[in-house]
Amino acid sequence: MGFERLIRFVSESGETYYGDLAKETPTLKIEGSTVAVLDGDIATGFHKTGAEAIVKKLLSPLPKAHIIMCVGLNYRQHANEANLTVPSYPIIFTKPPDALAGPLDPIPIHPDAHGMLDYEGELTVIIGRDAKNVSAANALSYVLGYTAGNDVSARNFQMPDTSGGQFCYAKSFDKFAPIGLAIVSTSVIPDPQKLKYVTKVNGQKRQETGTEDMIWSVAQIIEHLSRGTTLRAGTAIMTGTPSGVGLFMKPKGFLGGGDVVEVYFEGIGSIINKMVF
């Protein structure tokens, strides 16, 4: 695999590199720090060059996504707060490649999405090699690593009474899928069902859970998504959100212009994104 915590960044010289963090590092302390430079890519793998570079701008660790696959209603506590019956198979929707954003990117919000803007902190899986008809028993061998994600959602385009329950449209605006700060390898995270994470809005805790509350595990999700369908290397999978989204708060906890959403995973780090109206 050739890395432990894969980041992508622009150096002081203006070059774009991959780097490897030696340890979990606070996101806001990465820019200006010196990191080991890696050579390679998602498809062919990575290796150390022996060189170092100073991080000027931290980018999405994934340069592009063929598609962003997403799972709805995948935490038991979230199903309870939404008072929804869990279906026999995972609820699947997608985001397009341009929804991808970096761990510190501002998220531009179209005026028509201002009214019911919401956050969903999610474990995001990055597929490392093409996968098709994969069994759950073998699924994690196809994983490049894990990262933090936010499934930004314009609820007014998602609700059945206003837009017919169109998950894809509500969640597919440009930069509505920030991820990062690093893709952490499976050697560092051997079991993705033992992770704790927190989502905060302007420093206030909104979501706190462990991935053991997932209804469908990462391995089961990969088995389901690869059934008769090729998951290309570089595919990102957002695995669902826990309870605590703004939609079900009393009063509602929707986001406003200038609000900052932080999603932090133990062992991975944070994404910190400002909503720009």
Residues paired with 6 in a beta bridge: 20, 183
Q: How far is CA 149 from CA 7, 125, 137, 236, in A?
A: 14, 9, 25, 10
Tokens of 243: 């309870």
Radius of gyration of the chain (CA): 18
Query: Tens of pLDDT along 19-49?
Result: 999 899 999 999 999 999 999 999 899 999 9
Query: Tens of pLDDT along 106-120?
Result: 999 999 999 999 999
> How far is 204 from 260, CA to CA, in rounded Å?
10
Q: By CB neighbour count within 10 A (0-12 exposed, 13-18 middle, 19+ buried), where does 188 fall?
A: middle
At position 14, the amino acid (one-letter code) is G
Cis peptide before 117 (omega within 30 of 0): no
Widest pairwise Cα distance in the chain: 57
Closest CA to 153 of 249, 250, 273, 246: 246
Is 165's pLDDT higher than 90?
A: no
| pLDDT given for residue 1 in this prediction | 65
| pLDDT given for residue 83 in this prediction | 81
Residue with tokens 């931290």: 58
Strands 269-276, 107-108: parallel, antiparallel or unpaired by DSSP?
A: parallel
Could you give the domains of the chain? Answer: 5-59 (no CATH), 68-276 (3.90.850.10)
Query: Tens of pLDDT along 182-237?
Result: 999 999 999 999 999 999 999 999 999 999 999 999 999 999 999 999 999 999 99
* 127 band by pLDDT with thresholds 50, 70 and 90: very high
